[in-house]
């Protein structure tokens, strides 16, 4: 009898059980109201014809059939793909070049620090200030940087309207210059963690620079590169801040990506239901990418039990 009582498992008092939840309560509440609820609402809204009158009516899958017959859709999908793929490829390439140059070739030199700090500036300064520069460079009047430069050298006589010719190229250029630094930080840290001895050993063995880069540096960068690829892809597919500030999706629909199209449908044309249906596609793509992203991490290592019993 006494034996049974002593074997009785220690039961946490209620206050102790509730205690951790109090810590995460404010966060959980915010997440519920502004993340889970909107996620559900997006799905619900996409089945209604909610518009400026704010009297939603259930319309079934009409919105989705409308998406597939939308004559803008092929161009918008193409824009999204071009924007995401080109931005990703070029910014990744440059992040790689810059981090190898500053952390391997110029390691520990003042100039390396200078280059890195300069490259961080586009991502540090606020977006609204940053895009002004690109607007100036590609300004369609004679005032613009490229136009005045080209007129001075007598290449063209009339100012070129850059934004009507290559709006997408401008948007991609502005996007990559400011996203390079994010990848650069991670890659630089990874290269920095390679022990100096490895380089020395390679040099003693007479390895060329090329094989140092391909055999020592690149294998170390495998994981960071995967991380950057997926996280930047999520960003490029879902966000439209630079596009909105630079071109607003125009001229015509030349720079409208899928996520911006959803925004325009909802907030410019007030077709909230249709906008939600379009954004649901973006949500779906981002969700798949996010799941890929999660697979990159080792969860068991991240979750540790408390080492205090209370």
Nearer to other proteins, 38 or 61 (CB): 38
Distance CA 192, CA 186 (A): 10
What does 2-42 look like in DSSP terms, one character per residue?
HHHHHHSPPPPPHHHHHHHHHHHHHHHHHHIIIIIHHHHHH
Nearer to other proteins, 149 or 156 (CB): 149
Nearer to other proteins, 64 or 293 (CB): 293
Query: Residue 288 contacts by C-beta under 8 Å, 6 or more apart in sequence?
Result: none
Q: Is 208 exposed, middle or buried (0-12, 13-18, 19+ CB in 10 A)?
A: exposed
Nearer to other proteins, 6 or 193 (CB): 193
Q: Closest separation between CB of residue 190 and other proteins, Å?
A: 5
Nearer to other proteins, 81 or 114 (CB): 114
CA dihedral 111, 112, 116, 119 (to 10 degrees): 60
Closest CA to 276 of 80, 71, 43, 32: 43
Distance CA 158, CA 132 (A): 23
Q: Closest separation between CB of residue 20 and other proteins, Å?
A: 4
Query: Residue 66 contacts by C-beta under 8 Å, 6 or more apart in sequence?
Result: 274, 277
Nearer to other proteins, 50 or 92 (CB): 50
Q: Closest separation between CB of residue 3 and other proteins, Å?
A: 28
Q: Closest separation between CB of residue 214 and other proteins, Å?
A: 17
Nearer to other proteins, 3 or 225 (CB): 225
Q: Closest separation between CB of residue 2 and other proteins, Å?
A: 30
In contact, 227 and 296? CB cutoff 8 Å: yes
Closest CA to 67 of 275, 215, 299, 220: 275
In contact, 223 and 272? CB cutoff 8 Å: no
How far is CA 70 from each of CA 59, 74, 186, 281, 284, rounded to the nearest angstrom? 17, 8, 41, 14, 19
Task: List phi, psi (to 5°) of 58.
Answer: -70, 125
Nearer to other proteins, 217 or 235 (CB): 235
């Amino acid at each position: 009898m006494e034996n049974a009582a002593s074997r009785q498992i220690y039961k946490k008092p209620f206050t102790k059980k509730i205690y951790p939840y109090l810590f995460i309560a404010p966060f959980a509440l915010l997440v519920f109201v502004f993340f889970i609820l909107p996620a559900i609402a997006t799905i619900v809204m996409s089945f209604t014809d909610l518009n400026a009158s704010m009297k939603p009516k259930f319309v079934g899958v009409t919105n989705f059939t409308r998406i597939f017959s939308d004559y803008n859709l092929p161009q918008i999908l193409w824009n999204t793909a071009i924007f995401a793929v080109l931005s990703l490829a070029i910014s990744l390439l440059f992040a790689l070049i810059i981090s190898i140059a500053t952390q391997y070739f110029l390691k520990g030199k003042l100039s390396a620090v200078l280059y890195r700090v300069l490259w961080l500036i586009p991502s540090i300064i606020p977006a609204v200030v940053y895009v002004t520069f690109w607007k100036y460079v590609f300004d369609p009047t004679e005032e613009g940087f490229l136009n005045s430069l080209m007129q001075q050298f007598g290449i063209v006589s009339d100012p070129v309207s850059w934004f009507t010719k290559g709006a997408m190229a401008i948007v991609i250029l502005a996007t990559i210059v400011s996203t390079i630094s994010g990848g650069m930080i991670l890659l630089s840290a990874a290269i920095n963690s390679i022990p100096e001895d490895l380089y020395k050993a390679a040099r003693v063995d007479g390895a060329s620079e090329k094989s140092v880069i391909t055999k020592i540096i690149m294998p170390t960068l495998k994981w960071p590169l995967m991380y950057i690829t997926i996280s930047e892809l999520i960003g490029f597919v879902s966000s439209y801040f630079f596009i909105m500030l630079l071109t607003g999706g125009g001229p015509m629909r030349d720079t409208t990506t899928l996520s911006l199209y959803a925004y325009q449908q909802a907030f410019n044309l007030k077709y909230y239901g249709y906008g939600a249906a379009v954004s649901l596609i973006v949500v779906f793509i981002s969700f798949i990418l996010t799941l890929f992203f999660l697979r990159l991490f080792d969860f068991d290592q991240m979750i540790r039990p408390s080492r205090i019993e209370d």
